[in-house]
Structures are given as structure tokens and as C-alpha cells.
């Protein structure tokens, strides 16, 4: 019986597929439009759209396990309808298709952004409440609502587990992701300034491993935060300089100033045909909670995220091999 991965061509999806193949699992990769990431891999490819239930029924036929990763990721505030249709209605369709096709277990990939920020001295963990305020970014609300669809599916008899990774970074970032694009710009000296903030970064390969352990070990309805290490953008840029030899940006913009300028920066990027990176939403993420616990995953799934320096080196090596970097990396790039 096969394992189906929705969102197979995305950054997290393709890392998961590589991990599944390494365990000799039979994989059916569901892609929407772009199949570049799965070309040449020993997988069955199924074309599908989570907004189209019929395509899901075709893709899930005969599946034992479904990993649901397909989602629209947004750092904008004006994409609410798209986020609702893909992330919420799409997840509802995935649950329905799993139930109709007799899928044994569903592993749903949520996000740390679905969880409300707690007081500064309290860690974010699986007991933290979901976001609810309409002031929260639409993406955050859509991921919280998608979890609600999973819970309703469990109420109908679906065996499902939820994993919530933090900011994913690592190899096989074909598109690239928002974070991957920022890293490439940093490595090419194209990022003129940094913002005084940071995030909890986690290796895509560690998330894949944690999710696969959840498939095997978790009880129905279990939820796990798969976090890594909090690193500021400045410290990341210093590490990138050591790996690439490209000087890190010397100006670190205060968060208050970046927040004032965010609407103008977003508008300028869109007018220039570029995907906005510094928006009011992404800046909110960069000043989010530092203390995000993976204690439950470590205790129950034997989850141990690798050092951030190792992830950063491997991500940059992959971008180098993909022709995304303007100059080769230094020969000695091992970092603890």
C-alpha cells in the first residue's frame, strides 16, 4: 500500500519524499502544477488539487497513509480568500477523501503560526491555544482553522495526527521558499540590510523524520511541535559570511523602523515584480516568541533537531549545486 504526499513539490514535501524513499516506502507524489522537484525520483506522480475533491479521491485510491502538506504560504494580509480555499477547504477535502478511500492514517502538517503567542516567560508548547483574533495574519488563522477540520475528521472516525514545525530551512528548496530566497540573497550580497529580529529555525529533514516517527508511534489526535533553534537574522548573516566569504549586511534596521517602512517596501517589491519578503506579517514573525518547546516530540518521538550551523551549511551547499549562488562556498564549511 502506498504513501501519498500532498504538496509533494514544495520544500517540505520533497524533503519528506526523500526520507520516505530512503526507507524503501512506496510513494505517490501529488503535485498541482510544478513537478520539477519530483522529476527523476522513484515515485508515482499524481496530479491533483486539494480544492478538487474528485482529484483527491483519485490520488488517494489504495493509499495506506496520507501526509498532507499542500498549503498556500503567505506573508501578506490580502490573500484571505485564497488561504481559505486552499488551507481550510482543501484540508476539509483531504479529510473527506481519506475517509472515503479508507486511508489508515493521516499526518497533517500545520504550522507554529497556528498557535497563539504566550507570555514571554512561558514556553509555547502543545498546550498553548490556537490563534483566534481577527487581528492575526490570515495565514495564521487559516492554519488554525485547518487544524479544526482535522479535529472534526477525527470525530468522524479519521485516524489523524498533527505536526507543527517552526521556520523550515534546508536542502531541496527548489522554488525557493520565502526563507530560502532570503538566504540566497544574503549569500549573494543582495540583502542590503537586516532587521533586528529572528526566528526558531528547523531543518526540513528533521521535520520529515519527526513526522515519520509520528506516523509510527503517535496516538490518534496527538499533536507535536517540531521546533529547532532560535537564531537572529544578524547571527545568521555572520554565519553565512563565514561559509561564503560574502560580507554580511552591516546595517541592522530597528524593528520599529522596519514596521513603519513595511507597507512601502511591500508595495515597491510588488510593483517591481518581486515577491515581498519584508512585510508586516513577516516582521511580526521575526519578533515572535523565542521559547518554543519540542520536549513532547523529543520524549515521545525521539526527536532531536540537528545543530543550526549544520543545516545552514547543507542548505547553502544545495543552493550552490542548484546554481543559485554567485560564487562557490569556501572549502571548509563545517559549523557546529
Rounded Cα gap, residues 222 and 272, in angstroms: 44
Which of 248, 263, 255, 216 minimizes the C-alpha distance to 312?
Answer: 248
pLDDT of residue 100: 98
Q: If pLDDT is split at 50, 70 and 90, which confidence band does 133 have?
A: confident
Boundaries of every domain in the chain? 2-175+199-230+289-306
Of 306 and 132, the one with more pLDDT: 306
Question: Mean pLDDT, the chain, as a whole number?
Answer: 94
Q: What is the pTM of this model?
A: 0.95
Q: What region does 2 belong to: left with phi over 0, alpha with psi -120 to 50, or beta? A: beta
pLDDT at 119 over 80: no
Which of 9, 71, 67 minimizes the C-alpha distance to 34?
Answer: 9
The tens digit of pLDDT for each residue in 50-98 reads: 999 999 999 999 999 999 999 999 999 999 999 999 999 999 999 999 9
DSSP string, 299-311: HHH---PPPHHHH
Class of domain 2-175+199-230+289-306 (CATH, top level) = alpha beta
Q: If pLDDT is split at 50, 70 and 90, which confidence band does 333 have?
A: low
Is the peptide bond preceding residue 176 cis, with omega within 30 degrees of 0? yes
Average pLDDT over residues 293-321: 98
Contact 319, 328 (CB under 8 A): no
Rounded Cα gap, residues 46 and 28, in angstroms: 7
Rounded Cα gap, residues 161 and 163, in angstroms: 7
Average pLDDT over residues 159-188: 96
Which residues are within 8 A (CB) of 58 and not within 5 positions of it... i.e. 6 or more apart? 46, 48
pLDDT of residue 89: 98
Please report which residue ranges of the chain form alpha helices under DSSP H: 11-22, 53-60, 80-83, 90-101, 138-155, 178-187, 204-217, 233-244, 255-271, 280-286, 295-301, 308-321
Amino acid at each position: 500500500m502506498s504513501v501519498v504526499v500532498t504538496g509533494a513539490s514544495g520544500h517540505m514535501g520533497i524533503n519528506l519524499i526523500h526520507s520516505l524513499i530512503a526507507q524503501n516506502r512506496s510513494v505517490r507524489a501529488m503535485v498541482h502544477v510544478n513537478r520539477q522537484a519530483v522529476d527523476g525520483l522513484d515515485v508515482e506522480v499524481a496530479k491533483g488539487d486539494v480544492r478538487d475533491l474528485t482529484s483527491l479521491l483519485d490520488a488517494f485510491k489504495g493509499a495506506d497513509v496520507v501526509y498532507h502538506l499542500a498549503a498556500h504560504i503567505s506573508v501578506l494580509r490580502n490573500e484571505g480568500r485564497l488561504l481559505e480555499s486552499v488551507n481550510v477547504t482543501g484540508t476539509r477535502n483531504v479529510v473527506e477523501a481519506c475517509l472515503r478511500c479508507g486511508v489508515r492514517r493521516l499526518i497533517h502538517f500545520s504550522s507554529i503560526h497556528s498557535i497563539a503567542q504566550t507570555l514571554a516567560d512561558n514556553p509555547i508548547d502543545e498546550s498553548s491555544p490556537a490563534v483566534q483574533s481577527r487581528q492575526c495574519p490570515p495565514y495564521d488563522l487559516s492554519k488554525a482553522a485547518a487544524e479544526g477540520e482535522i479535529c472534526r475528521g477525527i470525530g468522524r472516525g479519521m485516524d489523524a495526527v498533527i505536526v507543527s514545525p517552526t521556520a523550515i530551512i534546508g536542502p531541496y528548496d527548489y522554488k525557493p521558499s520565502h526563507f530560502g530566497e532570503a538566504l540566497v540573497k544574503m549569500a549573494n550580497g543582495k540583502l542590503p540590510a537586516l532587521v533586528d529580529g529572528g526566528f526558531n529555525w528547523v531543518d526540513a529533514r528533521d521535520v520529515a523524520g519527526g513526522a515519520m516517527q509520528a506516523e509510527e508511534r503517535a496516538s490518534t489526535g496527538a499533536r507535536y511541535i517540531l521546533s529547532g533553534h532560535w537564531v537572529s537574522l544578524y547571527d545568521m548573516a555572520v554565519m553565512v559570511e563565514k561559509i561564503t566569504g560574502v560580507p554580511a549586511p552591516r546595517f541592522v534596521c530597528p524593528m520599529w523602523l522596519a514596521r513603519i517602512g513595511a507597507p512601502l517596501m511591500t508595495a515597491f517589491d510588488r510593483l517591481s515584480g518581486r515577491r515581498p519578503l519584508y512585510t508586516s506579517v513577516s516582521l511580526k514573525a521575526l519578533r515572535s516568541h523565542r521559547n518554543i518547546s519540542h520536549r513532547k516530540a523529543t520524549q515521545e518521538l525521539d526527536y532531536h533537531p540537528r545543530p543550526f550551523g549544520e543545516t545552514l551549511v547543507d542548505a547553502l551547499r544545495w543552493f550552490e549545486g542548484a546554481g543559485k549562488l554567485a560564487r562557490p562556498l569556501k572549502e571548509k564549511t563545517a559549523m557546529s
